[in-house]
Amino acid sequence: MPKLLLTLLSLVVFFPVADAQLVQEPEDDLTPKYVNEFLNIGVGARALGMSLAQVASVNDVTSGYWNPAGLLGIRSDLEVAAMHSEYFAGIAKYDYAAIGKGIDSVSAASISFMRFGVDDIPNTTDLIDAGGNIDYDRITTFSAADYAFIFSYARRGWKKPGSSVDLVNQRPSGSGLSWGANAKVIYRQVGDFASAWGFGLDAGVQYEWRKWKLGAMARDITSTFNAWSYTLDQQTQAVFQQTGNAIPANGLEIALPRLILGGARYWNWKKVSLLAEFNADFTTDGRRNVLVSAEPVSIDPHVGWELGYNNVIFLRMGAGNVQRVKDFDGSDALTWQPNMGVGLRIKQLVLDYALSDIGNQSDVLYSNVFSLRYSIYKTQRG
């Protein structure tokens, strides 16, 4: 029994890198699938309710994550956003916060922070004392968490007068092109056992024409490098050897580029509005279980809708995460992930909620996601 517990612990301790190691072919491959996958979960309940279809229409402080070109849509002097969500019955917690502002009439910037982590994981490597006795008082706990800091900048390429509409704030806007870039710093930590630092660059563009908007987001355009280092003491190494686990060595992980293309269209009828957006994710790390699975590029489409009333109440729906799964009779079947959400705007405050299904596998995997966004204006003096 103690050996079983130790074996299970060794698997849990390194869960942030296990998903990458399991798919490496061969073992020294530096570009496995699903590197830094926590960065692909998404931020903001509005986006999650629309199944992550955002790169074309996003136009607020969350643009720092979805498409930095959209930061030019910030109308206030300062805009802040925050989100908290929990997965797997609260075992994993995901937090996000951002602050952004317009620099001048043609540029804007933001800073975003994300953390995805599992806390209070039991460490049983010292469960057995020198005499071979089980001592539960020797159990300690640790956290396994991933952090990201994103610094974003956006600038208007060119703009001409037109009759287009701000797809998020529903205000008249000018047709034109905008672009943006992200510099992101990644830190991943597994207790005192392992840690990694990473750095990467993103770039995005948006083009607006009348009631249409097109967007493109290139993530990890130079590839994102994670440098892992391990600090296992002799006791932990001995436990690993006794339980048949390999002792990890320092190394690199590389996240390959991902391209997201999107298009959005806006309709309005007096107080009622409708926004529809379609996105397609092009990954370059080989065959994935998505709708279009190929080598080396796979394509994952997703679509979202937002129905608004008087720019105050919003109802959202989305569909995505199309996968092929084996049915009970051995045949292949297509599954897809439905999402939904609601939003409420109260003056400068926007409250959003989303019910998001993790992988469309079970009702218990639905997660409740809450987020808020607040616009701050300078006090006008009479």
* Eight-class DSSP state of 135: -
Q: How many domains does the chain have?
A: 1
Predicted TM-score (pTM) of the model is 0.80
Q: Determine, yes or no, domain membership for 36.
A: yes
Q: Determine, yes or no, domain membership for 381.
A: no
Cα–Cα nearest to 112, from 75, 154, 77, 76? 154
Residue 306's beta-bridge partner residues? 275, 316
Determine the residue type at 229: S
Determine the residue type at 61: V
Q: Determine, yes or no, domain membership for 382.
A: no
**CATH code where residue 267 lies:** 2.40.160
Q: Which residue has the tokens 């390999």?
A: 246
Q: Determine, yes or no, domain membership for 44.
A: yes
Cα–Cα nearest to 353, from 50, 41, 78? 50
* Eight-class DSSP state of 256: P
Neighbours of 136 (CB within 10 A): 8
What is the rounded distance in angstroms from the CA atom of residue 163 to the CA atom of residue 124?
64
pLDDT in tens, 295-325: 889 999 999 999 999 999 999 999 988 888 8
* Eight-class DSSP state of 282: E
- Expressed as residue numbers, the domain containing 98 is 2-376
Which residues 6+ apart lie within 8 Å of 1 measured at CB? Answer: none
Show the tokens assigned to 282.
Answer: 């092009």
Exposure string over 267-302, b if 16+ CB within 10 A, otherwise e: eeeeeebebbbebbbebebbebebbeeeeeebbbbb
Element (H, E) at 203: strand 194-209
Which residues 6+ apart lie within 8 Å of 246 measured at CB? Answer: 240
- Per-residue pLDDT of the chain (382 residues), as tens digits, is 333 333 333 333 333 333 333 333 333 455 566 788 889 889 999 999 999 999 999 999 999 999 999 999 998 899 999 999 888 777 888 999 999 999 988 899 999 999 999 988 887 777 776 777 787 877 888 888 999 999 999 999 866 555 444 544 444 344 689 999 999 999 998 888 888 999 999 999 999 888 899 999 999 998 888 888 888 777 677 767 777 776 777 778 888 899 999 999 999 998 999 999 999 999 988 888 888 888 889 999 999 999 999 999 999 999 988 888 877 777 778 888 889 999 999 989 999 999 876 544 444 567 888 999 999 988 653 4
Neighbours of 22 (CB within 10 A): 10
Using alpha carbons, list the distances in angstroms from residue 39 to 42, 116, 170, 263. 7, 9, 29, 22
DSSP-based three-state secondary structure for 379: coil
Cα–Cα nearest to 98, from 53, 52, 62? 62
